[in-house]
Amino acid sequence: MGLPSFPPTKRNVVVRLSRLPLYGIFRGEVIISEAVVSKATSTKVDDSYLCPMYKKSLTKEQALQKLKHYCAYQERAHSEVKEKLYDLGVWKKDHDEIISTLIEENYLNEERFAIAFAGGKWRVKHWGRVKIKYELKQKQVSEYCIKKAMKQIDEEEYMAVLEKMALERYASLKSDQYIIRRKKTQDFLVARGFETDLVRQVIEKKIVKGKGSATD
């Protein structure tokens, strides 16, 4: 693909490459090809978006130290670290070596991240397993690590929380008719990431058959 040409202008043009930082074009000077080009309104180029050839790039050691602090602050997925490397403007040829060092020195551990992520989303936000799995897959975590993380969620506690949330949600919908309350309760729990079959079982057990347990 050839380089597009732009006439000199006071407007900036910013381009983004897939999985790469933003690269700037100023006053018609094209920096890179094979990009999607969009106009920006500012008359200045933010140098934090420029590629390493247009700003001072980090050495491999400097980047490694920054990534160590980044990983020490909280558990990170491999994909998050890769994205951070791009954000820092680190040359791609150095990525694998930096990531390998982080793994060897135990700053980066995908299984540990998956367990921490799943545990936090479950204990703090009470996400269901479906939503937790989905988010881990979005972060490109391996199936093995996802399964390890799911095992950390106690089944008895999981069902107890699901039942409690079902009753609380149903009770909060007093102004709606019975069928609508059931439907809204089910939709709410499924949206929180609980398995549809489990949600239906809990509603049948705690709301349909045990209406006395739910506040009418």
Instruction: Tell me if 127 is assigned to some domain.
Output: yes
CB neighbour list of residue 12: distance below 8 Å, 6 or more residues apart: 24, 25, 26, 39, 40, 41, 42, 43, 44, 45
Instruction: Tell me if 115 is assigned to some domain.
Output: yes
Residue ending a domain, choose from 129, 150, 171: 150
Instruction: Tell me if 1 is assigned to some domain.
Output: no
> Which of 47, 57, 56, 58 lies closest to 14 in space, CA to CA?
47
Instruction: Tell me if 5 is assigned to some domain.
Output: no
Instruction: Tell me if 6 is assigned to some domain.
Output: no
Give the count of domains, the chain: 4
Low-confidence residues of the chain: pLDDT under 50: 1-55, 212-215
Instruction: Tell me if 2 is assigned to some domain.
Output: no
What pLDDT does 216 receive?
A: 52
Which tokens sit at 109? 């551990």
What pLDDT does 55 receive?
A: 47
- Residues 85 and 122 occupy one common structural domain: no
Q: Is the pTM of this model over 0.85?
A: no
CA–CA distances in Å: residue 16 to residues 32, 35, 147? 10, 6, 35
What pLDDT does 210 receive?
A: 63
Domain residue limits at 20: 12-54
User: Each residue of 48-57: pLDDT tens digit?
Assistant: 444 444 445 7
What pLDDT does 62 receive?
A: 93
Phi, psi of 25 (to 5 degrees): -130, 125
What pLDDT does 160 receive?
A: 96
